[in-house]
C-alpha cells in the first residue's frame, strides 16, 4: 500500500494534504480466437429482414435516401476539432456480469467504461495515435466524423446518472436476434434518447466466450420497441484487451450508424454500399506485416483491400486505423435521416433531457465547472489542476487508475471562484489515470497521462 498526497490551494479556501489508498496490479490481455466469428450483424439483419418484410422495405427506403444523400454531399478530411461536436450522442452502458461485473475473468469498472468511450471517440474523430500511419494506398481516403459519444447525465426519469446502469444479472443471450427482446426492452432506456450499449459475457447464451460484439442497424420498429442495441463482450472492453482489439467497439458503433462490413457481399455483390471501400471476397483476417513497404493485400481481381478499415475484422491483427470518406458520408446520412432512429439523439432538446446540456443550452459539465484545465498533460508525475467553481455545494475530486481504483480523493465544500490544486502521482506507476470532479448532479472527467 502506498500513500499519495494531493495539495489543494484555492484562492478563497485553503485545504491541507489528503491521504488516500493506492494499489497496483497487472492483468493479461484478452484476445479471441482469430478464427472465430467476431461479429454477426450481417447475419442477424438478414434474419430480421426475412422475418419482417416491413423492416426490409424500410431498409430499402433508407438505402435510397443514403444514396441520394451521398450524391448531394461530399466529405473532406478536416482534422480541426471544434469545441463541441456537431453530432453528440447520449450513451448508456448497461453493465451485467453478476454482482462483481466480471466477464470471463475480466472485471468492468467505471474507469474502464470511461476509457473505452474515450477510445471510441478518438477512433471516430481521427485522433487515434496510428491515424497518421494509414497505408499510403488509402491515406487520401481516410476521414474523421464530427461526432462525440457521451455518457448521459440524466436517467429517463430525470434523476442524475453517470451513464452506467449496473446490473446484477448476466444478460446472457442479449446478442441474439430474437428470443430476448422482452428482456432487452425491459432494461433499455428510451432508444430515441439514448444509444444503449449492453455489456455481457455470453452474447448468444451458448457458452462461448469468444464472440466480441454485435449491433443492429436501428430501424423505426425496433427503436419504438426499445430493442435497438449494441451488445458487447465485457472481456474485450477498453483495457481488458489489447490496444487494437478494443476498437472492435468502434466497429460495432459503425454498424449502429449504418455501416456494413466491407466484405459482406463478396466480389460479385454490391459491397457495403460505399464507393471508396474496395470489394473483397471475405474478411481478410490479416494486414500487411511490413509497415515500411505497406504493401496492400489484393482480392477480387485488381482491388487492394483496405485492411485497416474499422469495418473489416482486423482488430485481432492490430490493423484498425480508419474510416473512409465514403463511410463518413454514409454515417452522416444515417444521422440526418428524419426518422426516430438516430436523428433525435443529437438534437439540442434531447441533449437537455439527457443532461448533456442544461436548459440554457450550456454544457451541464461546464455549468458545474465553467473551465477545467490540467497542465502539463502528459506529465512526469506532477499535474496542475485549475478550475472555476460556481458554489456547487459538496463536491469531490477523485483520481483513479485504469482499473477503476481510486488512488487519491478529496471532498470540497462550497467553493465559489477560482480553485487550484497540485496532483502528485510520482508514487504511482506510469500510465493513464482519470481525474473526476463531481457533485450530486454533474461530473467532469479528464484523462491524465503519467509518463
Enumerate the active-site residues.
Answer: 252
Burial (Cβ within 10 Å: 0-12, 13-18, ≥19) of residue 242: middle
Separation of alpha carbons 117 and 29, rounded Å: 18
Contact between 82 and 346 under an 8 Å Cβ cutoff? The reply is no
Q: DSSP code of 377?
A: S
| Cell 466480441, located at residue | 212
CA 418-419-420 angle, to 5 degrees, is 130
Cα–Cα distance for residue pair 29/407, rounded to 1 Å: 23
**Cα 236 to Cα 59, 93, 166, distances in angstroms:** 30, 14, 18
Which of helix, strand or coil describes residue 117?
A: helix
The DSSP secondary-structure symbol of 104 reads T
- Most distant CA atoms of the chain, gap in Å: 71
Contacts of 388 (CB under 8 A, 6+ apart): 369, 370, 371, 417, 418, 419
Q: Give the C-alpha separation, 253 to 72, whole Å.
A: 24
Amino acid at each position: 500500500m502506498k500513500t499519495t498526497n494531493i495539495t489543494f490551494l484555492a484562492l478563497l479556501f485553503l485545504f491541507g494534504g489528503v491521504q488516500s489508498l493506492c494499489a497496483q496490479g497487472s492483468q493479461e490481455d484478452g484476445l479471441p480466437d482469430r478464427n472465430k466469428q467476431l461479429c454477426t450483424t450481417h447475419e442477424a439483419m438478414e434474419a430480421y429482414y426475412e422475418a419482417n418484410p416491413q423492416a426490409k422495405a424500410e431498409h430499402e427506403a433508407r438505402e435510397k435516401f443514403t444514396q441520394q444523400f451521398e450524391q448531394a454531399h461530399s466529405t473532406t478530411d478536416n482534422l480541426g476539432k471544434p469545441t463541441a461536436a456537431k453530432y453528440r450522442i447520449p450513451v448508456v452502458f448497461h453493465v451485467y456480469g453478476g454482482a462483481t461485473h466480471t466477464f470471463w475473468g475480466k472485471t468492468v469498472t467505471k474507469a474502464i467504461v470511461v476509457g473505452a468511450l474515450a477510445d471510441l471517440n478518438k477512433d471516430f474523430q481521427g485522433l487515434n495515435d496510428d491515424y497518421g500511419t494509414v497505408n499510403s494506398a488509402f491515406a487520401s481516403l481516410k476521414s474523421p466524423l464530427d461526432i462525440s459519444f457521451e455518457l448521459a447525465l440524466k436517467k429517463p426519469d430525470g434523476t442524475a446518472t453517470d451513464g452506467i446502469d449496473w446490473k446484477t444479472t448476466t444478460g446472457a443471450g442479449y446478442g441474439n436476434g430474437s428470443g430476448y427482446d422482452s428482456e432487452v426492452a425491459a432494461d433499455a432506456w428510451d432508444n430515441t434518447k439514448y444509444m444503449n450499449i449492453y455489456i455481457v459475457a455470453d452474447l448468444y447464451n451458448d457458452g462461448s466466450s469468444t464472440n466480441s460484439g454485435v449491433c443492429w442497424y436501428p430501424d423505426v420498429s425496433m427503436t419504438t420497441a426499445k430493442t435497438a442495441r449494441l451488445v458487447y463482450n465485457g472481456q474485450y472492453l477498453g483495457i481488458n484487451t489489447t490496444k487494437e482489439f478494443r476498437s472492435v467497439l468502434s466497429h460495432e458503433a459503425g454498424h449502429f450508424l449504418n455501416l456494413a462490413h466491407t466484405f459482406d457481399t463478396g466480389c460479385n455483390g454490391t459491397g457495403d454500399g460505399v464507393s471508396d471501400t474496395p470489394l473483397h471476397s471475405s474478411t481478410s483476417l490479416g494486414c500487411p506485416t511490413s509497415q515500411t513497404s505497406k504493401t496492400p493485400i489484393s482480392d477480387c481481381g485488381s482491388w487492394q483491400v483496405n485492411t485497416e478499415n474499422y469495418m473489416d475484422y482486423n482488430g485481432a491483427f492490430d490493423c484498425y486505423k480508419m474510416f473512409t470518406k465514403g463511410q463518413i458520408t454514409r454515417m452522416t446520412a444515417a444521422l440526418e435521416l428524419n426518422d426516430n432512429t438516430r436523428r433525435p439523439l443529437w438534437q439540442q432538446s434531447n441533449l437537455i433531457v439527457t443532461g448533456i446540456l442544461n436548459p440554457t443550452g450550456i454544457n451541464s459539465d461546464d455549468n458545474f465547472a465553467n473551465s477545467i484545465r490540467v497542465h502539463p498533460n502528459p506529465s512526469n508525475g506532477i499535474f496542475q489542476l485549475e478550475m472555476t467553481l460556481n458554489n456547487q455545494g459538496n463536491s469531490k475530486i477523485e483520481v483513479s487508475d485504469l482499473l477503476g481504483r481510486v488512488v487519491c480523493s478529496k471532498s470540497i465544500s462550497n467553493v465559489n471562484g477560482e480553485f487550484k490544486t497540485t496532483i502528485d502521482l510520482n508514487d504511482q506507476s506510469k500510465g493513464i489515470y482519470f481525474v473526476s470532479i463531481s457533485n450530486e448532479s454533474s461530473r467532469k472527467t479528464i484523462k491524465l497521462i503519467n509518463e
